[in-house]
Structure 1
Amino acid sequence: MPDLRVGERRISVPTGSNLLDALNGVGLNVPYSCRAGSCHACLVRCVDGEPEDALPEALQADKREQGWRLACQCRVTADLQVMVFDPQRDGVPARVCALDWVGDVLRLRLKPARALRYQAGQHVVLWLGTVARPYSLASLPGEDDFLEFHIDCQRPGAFCDLARGLKIGDSLSLGEFRGGALHYDPDWQDRPLWLLAAGTGLAPLWGVAREALRQGHRAGIKVMHVAHDDAGHYLQPALQQTHGIDTEYVLQEHLEEALARLRPTSRQTIALLCGSPVSVERFARRLFIAGVPRNQVLADVFVEHA
């Protein structure tokens, strides 16, 4: 059986063991969310040896060259020494500069210790102590001098429970910035843009919408936001004050009726979707029926965190 070393600890694990499970099996508490290579919460750095990596393309080349791997995607097939991600050592420190509660949604703004490069629609792993979760960015790079996140605290959760106690000036750490499917492409300027979101799935699409406007988007921009109740339309004031966006607010109970009314004015329509797996599936199914080609529908799914 191969030896797995972490610091001074050495354990023998069965050949082919999942690296994340092996580390957590001995109490190292490596965080994870999706187990699919998307959230990047389970980063570890290989010091000696190489695991079998099922998804090498999930990390940028420079990160891989530095030895970083996603533990959830790796199997231990030979002796291996790793360092787990330490937010104090490996992350970027940030401080809370603004807090705004709208119902159960926390609009959190952070001021990082240094300027960071990112694109509208990306997400980043937030660390509060030893708890890490990926959250999408709602801020606009180059315009906002802070990073903004929309955190749904309706249900209990390890990160949400800590986030409820945050105060101005508190410290967090930022992990890796990660791009998903949501972005704005300048080639879309003359194509209608539909942004369909459920709950805090609106966060990255808010950034994308503002990026589209900043780049002079010439076709229409339509936002549909789905919430369980009126209070759930937490960005309504900001959307109403933004010219160039046609916004429809839909309650969950009326979603099918609202989706049935969607009629693309062009076969060139681009649709970006974000929310829970169920919501995104409903959006995608209705868009297909409405005639929007599948390759023009891009989606990010929010995984519910424990």
Structure 2
Amino acid sequence: MYKLTIEETAYFCQPDETVLDALLRENVNIPYACKKGTCHSCMVRSPDTPPPEAAQAGLKSTLKKRNHFLACLCHPEQDMVIKLPDQSEFYTEGTVVANEMLNRNTLLLIIAFKDAFEFNAGQFVNLQRPDGLTRSYSIANIPQQSNTLEFHIRRLPNGRFSEWLHDEIKVGDSIAVSEPRGHCFYLPERHEQGLLLVGTGTGLAPLAGILTDALAQGHTGPIYLFHGSREVEDLYRVDEMRQLSEQHENFQYMPCISGKHVPEGFIHGRVNDVALASLTDLKGWRIFLCGHPEMVNQMKKMTFLKGAASADIYADAFTVSPT
């Protein structure tokens, strides 16, 4: 018999039970459906100890790394602390150390912490205003000794949170930051594998972190970054990306403009169309998609049809919260 601890409450799992069976017997409110490991509805996390390997069957490698597992497949091998997906988040106070514009509508916000903030480049966090209003933003940098998080935040019309960050937040202000979430990040495995990164607007934020991480960890396979917007004024970090492509032979950067006015050095077309026309066979590639939900959903389908395995397609669609 092993002890299962959830928010300081202890439950016990019998030798013939799965974690899901034990929690349901104890009337714990945990989502589930198939009870066979197919639907992933009962996915939970073990923040302190790796779960049994069999309990992670069918999960993406990034989820495995963060100790996610399926409660319906888990027969505990030791006492476990379990975090349910709907548990209230733990927030840490950070301090704004940079607040400047990247282009006409995108803010660079950098938040520093006293203690180490553990995350993977490409994950996202929730930022919270003093009144409790919360929004999710992707992390644009890689972990570093300075203990900072970098965000690229687009001003949205009538966006209560984005306008607050653009107009009111100042260097030195405090802001509450949640634990990191999401599984759209780079793992240093299969270094020779092709990486396709496609993003629109501030979808560059997580992709920039993933790119920097892959290059820093010596990824040797081809890396293609396609970044798109309607007008050239809404792209940013163009020179920085071009410089990286000059420094690394395996990295290609493709800035795409879907509008009518396309300056020299930019590619005309929607970013997804350009990417799919450029790379026709994606078998064995790892795919990262960030930005407009329509683009992300279409690319998930099309990259799969062009040979990418579903387990190698990582996506974060950016949705706008109602005002």
- Judge same fold: TM > 0.5, yes or no: yes
TM-score (normalised: structure 2): 0.67
Kindly report which structure 2 residues correspond to 1:229-268, keeping only aligned pairs within 5 A, or say none: 229-242=231-244, 243-244=247-248, 245-253=251-259, 254-255=269-270, 257-264=273-280, 267-268=283-284
Which structure 1 residue ranges, 5 or more long, are not aligned? 1-48, 72-83
Q: Does 1:57 align with 2:43?
A: yes
| Counterparts of 1:303 and 1:145, CA distance in 2 | 28
Paired residue secondary structure (1:305): coil
Q: For residues 251-282 of structure 1, give each alpha carbon's deviation from its aligned partner in whole angstroms, at most 9, with x where no partner exists.
A: 23521641442225663221111112101022
The corresponding residue for 2:127 is 126
Letter in 1 for 2:174: S
| Counterparts of 1:91 and 1:202, CA distance in 2 | 25
Q: Does 1:175 align with 2:178?
A: yes
Which structure 2 residue ranges, 5 or more long, are not aligned? 1-25, 32-40, 49-79, 260-268
| Counterparts of 1:149 and 1:220, CA distance in 2 | 26
Distance change >3 Å, CA 301–CA 60, structure 1 → 2: farther
Paired residue secondary structure (1:154): coil
TM-score (normalised: structure 1): 0.70
Q: What is the CA-CA distance between 1:69 and the residue it aligns to?
A: 6.0
| Counterparts of 1:219 and 1:198, CA distance in 2 | 23
The corresponding residue for 1:273 is 289
| Counterparts of 1:250 and 1:144, CA distance in 2 | 33
Q: 1:283 aligns with which of 291, 299, 321?
A: 299
| Counterparts of 1:196 and 1:276, CA distance in 2 | 11
Q: What is the CA-CA distance between 1:70 and the residue it aligns to?
A: 1.6
The corresponding residue for 2:86 is 70
Deviates more, 1:91-100 or 1:237-246: 237-246
Q: Does 1:136 align with 2:138?
A: yes
Question: Higher strand share goes to which structure?
Answer: 1
The corresponding residue for 2:213 is 211
The corresponding residue for 2:100 is 100
Distance change >3 Å, CA 67–CA 248, structure 1 → 2: closer
| Counterparts of 1:248 and 1:203, CA distance in 2 | 16
Paired residue secondary structure (1:187): coil
Question: Quick one: percent identity of the two aligned structures?
Answer: 25
| Counterparts of 1:303 and 1:112, CA distance in 2 | 27
| Counterparts of 2:222 and 2:202, CA distance in 1 | 23
Distance change >3 Å, CA 187–CA 111, structure 1 → 2: same
